[in-house]
Each structure stands twice: as structure tokens, then as C-alpha cells.
Amino acid sequence: MNKAARSSPRVASIWRIRFVWLVLVILLLVVTGRLIQLHLFESEFLKHQGDARTLRVEPIPAYRGMITDRHGEPLAVSSPVATLWINPQQFPDNAEAVRRLAEQVGETPQWLARRLQRFSEHEFMYLRRQVTPDLAEEVLALQLPGVYARDEYKRYYPSGEIAAHLVGFTNIDEQGQEGLELAWNHWLEAEPGRKRVLKDLRGRTVRNLATLQQPRPGQDLTLSLDLRLQYLAYRELKAAVEQHNAVSGSLILLDARSGEVLALVNQPSYNPNNRVKMNASGMRNRALVDLMEPGSVIKPFSIAVALQSGVFTADDTINTSPGVIRLAGQTIRDFRDYGELTLAGILTHSSNIGVSRMILELPDDLLVNYYNELGFGRATGTGFPGEASGVLPGDSDISRIKRATLSYGYGLSVTLGQLAQAYMALADQGRLHPLSLLKVKETSSTPVFDAEVTSQVLKMMERATQPGGTGTRAAIPGYRIAGKTGTVHKLGTEGYRSGNYLATFAGIAPASDPRLVAVVMLDSPKGQEYFGGEVAAPVFSRVVGHALRILDIPPDDPEQIPRQ
């Protein structure tokens, strides 16, 4: 073989090597150029993309403000919990993972599989809201991809159904839905913070990098309630409703000197910690949102108006014979013919005729004007959601029959809260205090009656709770009690319903130096006892009697304490 033939393969081999090196150099230059481009011109974009995959801004939960009674006892608190969630796109697509996770949270694999299928195109799905931290740790310990937990708070009500109507409740996101939780949501509401965290490829937090905004917890709210008296009132009212098979009942207890609500209870009630069986009837705060005709419990105010007018004195008498009168085609009756009655006698015997004839001798608009000053026909101003204003007729062209019926509590509608507020004017020397559901530092009042007038009315009301009166069962050994009973026919679609009553009692204690005002109402008590003096007055006696001792208010009639 000649020399040229032998060199030809070698030359081809050298060129192939050179070509490979050339390709490698070109590739190296391309890679180097790309690296230079990325580092010099696209570094910010790449950094942002990297951070987007590893850095996250997460909320820092903050707790809602606590609601307490006047002594600091908790009525609503926020407890730390955890919420479990899943990224369905990261969760393993196998039956074993579904089974393990479902069993851990107390559900069936079929339930979890359906939810995962439903949210398969999403990156977020709730697994369980507001579980205990222990359960959350057990679930995370399974180390299943796509399963996460975040911290939250859950509202808890230590007193349960005892204070539910007043406190109310929040939804799962801790937004007020009922009661003072709703009314003061702006005050109690927390503002969550924000933090930047570093996460790994599985979404687990590796490190907290920075706090972007500090969380702001909600502000605490101190109510006027005394939880001791609230428990007491709830127990006694519930027992009375069950004993008399009543449809419902309400009780409100006030501090006569400040207007603070010390206890407010209703039956039926509900447990805000367990809302499975909650119904609208049990959720209603009847003492502040339900209207009723007050009936005879309004008569002390008619007496006070008559005395304040100067037309009548405490020693004047009214002829109630023959026990029945007719006005504008309507009949007004007494239980029997009481004959001549003093003003105190009118209260003691609860004479409709006596109070009607007395009011009819006064100027036409006087009674309505005083009712308006006492707060009837307008909300008490507590700020409670849905509080009713009531109905009070205007003072223009009011007929004689309307004036007569108004004098003994028919023809107007009030709430139990309005009635209790009005009674404070009798208890505190004619001064009317605003009703308050919050603990107050300074009290205010508006004069309605002269102190001498209310002093005379209180003495007359005392006789109504003594032998011969209608409210003897309201008596409390060792204390002088001033009060008035009421038994009102309930109004139906076709007029007043026979055999269906509202039984009420409103009272003040101690009568010599009033400290407490209480009003009790039972709706439609069934059985032989249905009068206010029979079913409502005993509840007043038990609740106010215990309250006087709990508050260490000394007896003003110690001689009446039974000796053992």
C-alpha cells in the first residue's frame, strides 16, 4: 500500500476529533453565554421564581377578645386549635394513603376519596376545621404528602346555655353571629398578623424569616352580669317553667342604683358549644325582643302619675262599685265589688275599675306622656341586636276607653327589659337609669317622679305583697318587699284567648332602701295555678332572696326572720 493511502484514514480521524472539539467548545460557549445572561440580565426574575417556590407569606393567628362577667369570670374565650387541609394535587393517588388518613380523622375512606375527587383540580381542600392540636400532630405524623395544618382559634363558652341568650356566639371563623358577640364584634375582633417563612419541597416550614405584621388580639368585654346570680336565676326559672308546664319564661334582675343587668335568663335556651339541635325558638332573647301587654304590673305607674299630678293624694278614695263599668261599649271588670278603695287598696286588690276612674279624672295626655318618659315605646338603648321598641299610643285624640285600658296595662306593648327599667324609677327616688348590659363606671339618670311620690307608691306596693294582697308568695323572710302581680290574657289572631295567660311579677327589694329590681314572666302556665302571684311571685322570692344574701345586703325587717 502506498504512502498516500495510509495517511488518508489518519487525516479523517484528526478532522473528526477536531470537529468534536469544535462542537464541545461551541456548547461550552453557549452554556457560558447563557449563564452570563441569566446572572447579569435575569437574576432578579430567577430569584423571584425561586422565592415563589420556597418563600411564603402566612397569617399569624390572633385571639378574639374575651367576654367576662363583672368579676372577671369568663363567659366567652378563644382556645388554640388546628385546622387540617390537603393539597389534592400532591396527595398520593392510592387507596392505602386514603384509608390511613380517613381512619385517623374518624371518617370513611369512601368519604375522603369523594372529596379528593371533587377537589382534584384545586390546590386546597379542608380536611377538618378546628381540631385539637394533639389530633393534628397525629395526622401530620403519618407523613403523607400534601397534608398540612395551620393554627387557629375556636370560641368556647364556659357557662354554656346559662348565659347564651345574652353572650350569643360566633361562626367558625370567629365572626359574631348573635347576642353581644355580634353587637360588639368590632371591639372583640382580632386582626391577624403576617410572617414570611421558608418551606421545603413538601411544603413544610423550615424557618421563620421575618414578621411582616404583628397580630393584634381583640379587646376584652366586661359585662354587667354576675355569673353567680345568672346561674341562680337560670336554675329557678327553668324549674318554674317545667313545674307549671309553661311555653316559655324570662327573668331580668337589675341593680336599682346603676341600671346594670345582673342576671338575664330565658327558657327555652340553647348550648352555643353544641349547635346540632339548636332551633330559632331557643335562641331568642325573649326578655329584650319579645313584646307583651304588661297588664296589672303597670298600675303602680298609674298611681304615681295620679300622685305626681297633684289631683290625688295617698289618702283619697275611689268608688269601684258595682265592680263593673262600661265605656264606649266595652266592659271593665274587677274580680268582685271592692266598694270604696284608697289608692293603696287599688294596688292591693289590683282593681281595674279603681285605676281607670282615677286616670279618667286626669288630663287626657298625661298618662301617655309619663309612659313615654318611663321609656315605653322606645328601645332601652342596650345595643342588643333585634331589641324591640314596643308600642305606645300617641297622645293626640286618645279616647277615654284607651286611657282606661292603658291605666291597667292593656293597649300598649313592652319588653321585659323596658318594664324592669321603668321599675327602677320607682326604686331610685323617681330617677330613671339607662339599662346597661356592660359594667358601668359612672351612672346617669333622668328624673321622672318626685322622691316623695315614689316613696308613697313603694309603701302601697309593700301592702300588695303582704297578707290580703295578690303577691304574698313574693315575700322574703327578713326583707321588706314591694311588688305587683300581673295576669294578662294573651292576644291571638281573633282577639284575647281564653285560658291562655302571661303571668308576671315585678318587684323591688329591700323596700326601705332599694337595691334590686326583678321582673319574672311565665308564658302560658298550665294547670290550676296560672296567676302571676301564684307562678311568677315565688320565682322572684327565691331568686331575689338568694341574691340579697349573695350580695350581702342586710335585712331591713329582721323580726320577720323565722327563729329556729
Catalytic residues: 296
CA R_g for the chain: 38
| DSSP conformation class of 323 | S
Gap between the Cα atoms of 324 and 524, Å rounded: 26
In 214-329, where do the E strands start and end? Answer: 221-222, 248-255, 261-267, 317-319, 324-327
Query: What is the H or E stretch that residue 37 is in?
Result: helix 3-41
Let me know the angle formed at the C-alpha of 370 by 368 and 376, rounded to the nearest 5 degrees: 75
Please list the residues that pair with 154 across neighbouring strands: 79
Tell the residue number behind the cell numbers 324549674, with chain if given.
Answer: 239
Gap between the Cα atoms of 384 and 174, Å rounded: 19
Residue 548 one-letter amino acid: L
| Cell numbers standing for residue 88 | 389534592
Within 13 A of 470's CA, how many CA atoms are on the CB side?
29
Let me know the angle formed at the C-alpha of 161 by 545 and 380, rounded to the nearest 5 degrees: 70
Measure the CA dihedral 412/415/416/417, to 10°.
-120
Burial of 24 (0-12, 13-18, 19+ CB in 10 A): exposed
User: Phi and psi dihedrals of 21, rounded to 5?
Assistant: -65, -40
| Cell numbers standing for residue 500 | 291562655
Give yes or no for a contact between 391 and 413, defined as CB atoms under 8 angstroms apart.
yes
Give yes or no for a contact between 487 and 530, defined as CB atoms under 8 angstroms apart.
yes
Q: How many helices (H) and strands (E) does the chain have?
A: 20, 21
Q: Could you tell me how many residues make up the chain? A: 564
Q: How crowded is residue 5: how many other Cβ atoms within 10 Å of its Cβ?
A: 8
Do strands 431-432 and 446-447 pair parallel, antiparallel, or not at all (unpaired)? antiparallel
Integer angstrom CA distances of residue 338 from 214, 314, 320, 332: 74, 18, 6, 14
Contacts of 51 (CB under 8 A, 6+ apart): none
DSSP structure string for 142-198: T--TTEEEEEEEEEE-TTGGGSHHHH-EE-TTS-EEEHHHHHTHHHH--B-EEEEEE
Give yes or no for a contact between 539 and 237, defined as CB atoms under 8 angstroms apart.
yes
Give yes or no for a contact between 81 and 154, defined as CB atoms under 8 angstroms apart.
yes
Tell the residue number behind the cell numbers 423571584, with chain if given.
Answer: 48
Among positive and negative, which fits the CA dihedral 531, 532, 535, 537?
negative
